[in-house]
Amino acid sequence: MNFSVGQRWASNTEPQLGLGLITDVSGRRITIRFPAAEEERTYATDTAPLSRIQYSPGDQISNQDGETFTVIEVNELRGILIYLAVDGSGGEIQIPELDLNAFVQFTHPHQRFFGGQLDRNKEYELRVDTLNHQHRLQQSPVRGLMGSRTSLLPHQVYIASEVAGRYAPRVLLADEVGLGKTIEAGMIIHQQLHTGLASRVLILLPTSLVHQWLVEMLRRFNMSFAVFNQERLEAMEETASGNPFETEQRIIVDIDFFQQSMVARQLALDAEWDLVVVDEAHHLAWSETEVSSEYLFVEQLAQQSKGLLLLTATPEQIGIEGHFARLRLLDPARFHSLDAFRQEAAHYGQLNELVKQVVVAETLNEELRIQLREYLGDEMDADTFDSDQIIRHLLDRHGTGRVLFRNTRAAIKGFPQRCLNAYPLPQPDIYQGIDGQFALYPETLVEEEQWISDDPRVEWLVEHLKALKVQKVLVICHNAATALALDKYLTLRVGIRSASFYEGLSIIERDRAAAYFADQDQGAQTLICSEIGSEGRNFQFAHHLVLFDLPLNPDLLEQRIGRLDRIGQQHDIQIHVPYLLGTAQESLYRWFHEGINLFQQSCSAGYMIFQKFQQPLEALLLSGNQANLDHLIQDTRVFTEATLEELHNGRDQLLERNSCDMKVASDLIERIQQEEQSDTLFEYMESLFDNFGLDVEDHSEHALVITPSDNMRTQHFPGLKDEGNTVTFDRQRALSREDMDYLTWEHPMVYENMDVIISSELGNANLAQMSLAALPAGTLLLEAWYCMHSAAPGYLQLERYLPLSPTRYLIDPSGKNLSAAVSYEKLAELCEPIRKQMALQVIPQIRGQVEQMLQHAQHFAGEYQQLLQQQALEQMSSGLEEERNRLVALREVNPNIRQDEIDHLTRRMAESKVYIEKSVLELQALRVVINSGGKK
C-alpha cells in the first residue's frame, strides 16, 4: 500500500469512525485523523487494517458542506485523487479528496445486488438477526455489565453501574479487604470501554501486582493491556518516533518505574488519558508539610486525566489525613483544606442519626420535618412521605458519598468463620537475651543453620504440614530471609513441596511460585511468603494460614488473613499461630487476640487502635511486664469496642447506604441473569459459527468446541485460537473452568464479529424465491432493512437516544408497504434459494422494477428518519437537560458535584444535537423475493 498525506482511507476494524485523512507518514508508521468521530489512530504501514477510498464515475459523493455531487471523472495528482463532478443543476466542479465529507459509511446493498454479488439466505438472515440484537443491546440497562467472568455480587455490580455510567468518573474505591476492589475496578473499566466513554486507560501498580492485574483483566474481562517498562520503552524508541505511550490504548505500568525514569514520567504526562487507575493508593505519602515524589506524579496525572480511580485502604486504616490526601487527588478544588475537611467529617454522625430517624419513622412529624428542612430546604414541604426518596436526597447532597465507595464485610455478609489455633512453644536457648521488638523476629539475629535447627516453630511447621498432607497451606512471615530459609529447608531437607514468594524475586519468578502453589495436582503444598505476600495476591483456594510470626501493625495482620478470608472462599479459615512463650511474641499475640479479637473477626479500626496504643505497646514489648500487659489489653479492648461502635453509628452506615443500594443491585443482577438464561445467544452463535465456516462439536451441557476449518470465510475470526476454543455460555461453569472461554454478548468473539457483520457487506444483498399460488408467477417483493447511522464520538453515547433502530419495509410492485401484513419470520419461512446462474440472468430483467421499489422504500425511510431524529432530539434534550439541572441544583448544596461534569453535559447536548441532525437512516440489507407460483 502506498500512503500519502491527504489521502482518504477507511478503517476495516473501526468503520464507524467514518472517512479518515492521512496527516503524517513517518517511516513505517502513518497517522490518520477521523474528523467525523474526532479520533486519531497510528498504524504500522505493513499491517494497517485500512482500505483506500476511491469513488468511480456515477457514484454519489458529498463535500464538507454536505453538498451532493455525481462523479463523472477521476484524476490523480501526486497520489491525491481529484474528482470531476456535477451538482444537481449540471454545473461541473473539481473536488480534491481532501474536501470529501467524513460522515460516510461504506456499505451499498443495491450496488452489490445489481452487480450480482449475492448472499445466501442464511447470511442475509444472520445480518438481520445481528442488526436486531445490536439494537437491543444498545438500549440494555445492563450494557457493559454482562461480560465479566465474575460472580454477580450486589455491591460490585452496584458500584460498577453507579460509577461507570458517569462521564470521566473520579472516585475512591475503599472497600474493606477481601471485598474485591480489583474486580470493581475491572468492571468499571470494562463498561467505560464497552460503552465508548473511555478508550485510553493507564493503570499504575506496585511491582508485585503488575502481572496479576494483567492476567485478571484478560481472564475476567477479556481486556488486554500492554505492560510498559524500561526495556520496552528503549525498544520502541529505536523503531518508532513520537510518544510510546500513545501507541497503545490500554497500558499497565509499575509505579516505581516512573520514579526511576524521569523521561518515562514526562512521556506519560504528555499522553492524554481517559482514565487513570491507581491500586494501593494509600502508599502515596502526603502530609501538609511533606509530599512524596510518587504522590506528586499521580497528582500531575490526575490533573490532566479525565477520569481517576483510586483503590485504597479504608479511611479508618489510613486516618483522616491520609483519607483527605486521596480525596484531594480526585478534586483538589473541593478538598482544598484539611482543617475544613476535619470540620465537615465531624458532622457525619449528626447526619447519620437523622437518617436513622427517617428509616424508623412511619410518618413525618413536625420535629423531623424541621431537621430535614435544614438539609433539604423547601423540598420537605411536600405532603407525601417517602423515606427512600428522602434518604437518597440526603446522601446525594451531603458528605463524600458521590466520590467515595466503601463497603464493609459486616454489611456484605457471606464470609467464612475465622478459626484460631494457637501453639505456645518453649523459647530456645539461642534466643535468650534477645529483647523488645527484636524478639518478634529473633531468627534474623542468629545464623540460619542454627535457628532452622533449634527454633521449635520450624519443627512444629514440619509436623503440621505432614499432618495436613495434601491440603494447601499459606505461610506468612515478616522477613524475606526467613521465608527463603524455610523454603529451602522444607524442599531440600524435609521433602515437602514448597515455594517461596518474597521481594527478591522478579515478577515472573513470583508468578511461577504462585502458579506452582495453585496447581492442585503437582503443585506445592505450601507457599511461604514474606510480608509482601499480604498485599495484592489472593489464595482463597487454600484455607489453612500459618502465621510464622506476627507483624506489629494490626492492619498488616488483617491483610495477611485477608489473602484467604475473602469473597470466593468456600471453607472456614484455619489460622495457625505458633509463638514462643515468655517473649514479645506471646505479648503481641495476646494483645491482638484478647485486646482486638483480630484473629477471629475482621477489624476496620486497626489503624486507629495502633495509633492510640503504638507507644505503650512498643514499651511493653521491650519491658515484658506481665501486669502492664494485662492493663494494656483491657484498655485496648475498651477502646476497640468504643471505636467500632462509633464507626457503626457514624460514617459507616452512611457510606454503606451509598455504596450499595440493594434494590438497584438486585434489579441489575436480575436483568443480567435474564440475558444469560435465554438461549438467544447460543442460537445466534451457532448461526455465526456456521456462516463463517467453523467446525463445531458439542462438548457438554452449555459448552461447545470450536475449531478453524479449511472452509472458513475469513482467515481472521476474532477470538478464535489456532488450536480452537472450548466455550461455555454458563456463568457458573465459566467460574469453575478457567480453560473455557465464557461467551456473553460482550465477549470480543461475539461483539467484534457482530461489528464485522454490520460494517461489512455480508448478508446485505439477497435474491430468493417462493411458491405461492395466490400471487401471479413473477411477482416481486422487496424487503429492505434500514438502520440509523451516526459517526458520533463514543463518549456522547448517542445510541441511548438514537440506537440502530432496524426498520423493515416490504414493498410490493405497486409501492405499498406490506411489512405489517407479512412478518419477517413468515416471509423467511417461505423463501428458498435460487441457483446463482439463474439469479445472474434474472437480475438485469428485474432491475428497473426493483429500482422503483427501492425508491418507494427510500421514501418511507426518509419520512421515518425525520421522526426518529425528532424523537431522539426530544429524548436527548429532556434527559440531559434534566440531569444537568439536577447537578446544578445539587452543586449549590453539595460541592462534590464537579463543575466540569455540568459543563460536559452542556457541551454534550450541543454536540449530540449536531450528530443527531447529521444521522441518516441507511439501507443495511435488501432481499428481493420472486414468486415462482405453485400450490397454495
Query: In angstroms, rounded to a whole number, what is the distance separating the alpha carbons of residues 22 and 81?
Result: 13
Q: What is the pLDDT of residues 680-695, one digit of tens each?
A: 999 999 999 999 999 9
The CATH T-level fold of domain 410-659 is Rossmann fold (3.40.50)
pLDDT in the model for residue 539: 85
pLDDT in the model for residue 399: 60
Q: Is 179 annotated as a binding residue?
A: yes
Confidence class of residue 836 from pLDDT cuts 50, 70 and 90?
confident
Class in CATH terms, 678-745: alpha beta
Given a cut of 90, whether residue 696 has pLDDT beyond it is yes
pLDDT in the model for residue 598: 93
Average pLDDT over residues 574-583: 96
Instruction: Write a three-state SS string for 654-712.
Output: HHHHHHCCHHHHHHHHHHHHHHHHCCHHHHHHHHHHHHHCCEEEEEECCEEEEECCCCC
Per-residue b or e along 272-299, where b marks 16 or more CB atoms closer than 10 Å to that residue's CB:
ebbbbbbbbbbbbebeeeeeeebbebbb
- The CATH number given to 154-331 is 3.40.50.10810
Higher per-residue pLDDT: 747 or 112: 747
pLDDT in the model for residue 671: 95
The region of weakest confidence among 67-71, 82-86, 102-106, 465-469 is: 102-106
Given a cut of 50, whether residue 839 has pLDDT beyond it is yes
Confidence class of residue 360 from pLDDT cuts 50, 70 and 90?
confident
E strand spans, 734-799: 741-742, 765-770, 780-789
Q: Is 176 annotated as a binding residue?
A: yes
From the CA atom positions of the chain, what is the Rg in Å? 33
Q: Is 180 annotated as a binding residue?
A: yes
pLDDT in the model for residue 492: 93
The CB-side HSE value for 193 (13 A sphere, CA atoms) comes to 27
pLDDT in the model for residue 622: 85
Query: What cell was used for 646?
Result: 462509633
Q: Could you tell me whether strands 418-425 and 573-580 are parallel, antiparallel, or unpaired per DSSP bridges?
A: parallel
Contact 423, 549 (CB under 8 A): no
Average pLDDT over residues 366-394: 73
Query: In angstroms, rounded to a whole number, what is the distance separating the alpha carbons of residues 580 and 508?
Result: 36
Whether the domain at 154-331 and the domain at 678-745 fall into the same CATH topology: no
Q: What is the pLDDT of residues 702-732, one digit of tens each?
A: 899 999 999 898 888 999 999 999 999 999 8
Q: Is 693 annotated as a binding residue?
A: no
The CATH T-level fold of domain 8-106 is SH3 type barrels. (2.30.30)
Given a cut of 80, whether residue 34 has pLDDT beyond it is yes
Confidence class of residue 5 from pLDDT cuts 50, 70 and 90?
very high
Given a cut of 80, whether residue 256 has pLDDT beyond it is yes
Give the single-character DSSP code of 646. H
Confidence class of residue 936 from pLDDT cuts 50, 70 and 90?
very low
Average pLDDT over residues 166-191: 90
Q: Is 826 annotated as a binding residue?
A: no
Average confidence score pLDDT of the chain: 88
Q: Is 39 helix (H, G, I), strand (E, B) or coil?
A: strand
Confidence class of residue 934 from pLDDT cuts 50, 70 and 90?
low
Q: What is the pLDDT of residues 551-567, one digit of tens each?
A: 998 988 988 998 898 87
Share of the chain above pLDDT 70, in %: 95
Higher per-residue pLDDT: 750 or 503: 750
Given a cut of 90, whether residue 602 has pLDDT beyond it is no
Q: Is 175 annotated as a binding residue?
A: yes
Share of the chain above pLDDT 90, in %: 57
Q: What is the pLDDT of residues 886-931, one digit of tens each?
A: 778 777 766 667 777 788 888 889 999 999 999 999 999 999 999 9
Given a cut of 50, whether residue 801 has pLDDT beyond it is yes
Average pLDDT over residues 126-154: 94
Query: In angstroms, rounded to a whole number, what is the distance separating the alpha carbons of residues 205 and 593?
Result: 33
Q: Is 494 annotated as a binding residue?
A: no
Q: Is 936 annotated as a binding residue?
A: no
Q: What is the pLDDT of residues 463-519, one digit of tens each?
A: 999 999 889 999 999 999 999 999 999 999 999 999 998 887 876 787 788 888 888
The region of weakest confidence among 108-117, 307-316, 485-494, 519-528 is: 108-117
Domain range list for the chain: 8-106, 121-136+762-931, 154-331, 348-399, 410-659, 678-745
The CB-side HSE value for 632 (13 A sphere, CA atoms) comes to 25
Query: What cell was used for 117?
Result: 454479488
Q: Which of 346, 409, 422, 351 is nearest to 605 (CA)?
A: 409
Given a cut of 90, whether residue 428 has pLDDT beyond it is yes
Given a cut of 90, whether residue 318 has pLDDT beyond it is no
Q: In the block, which residue shows the cell 465477549? A: 747
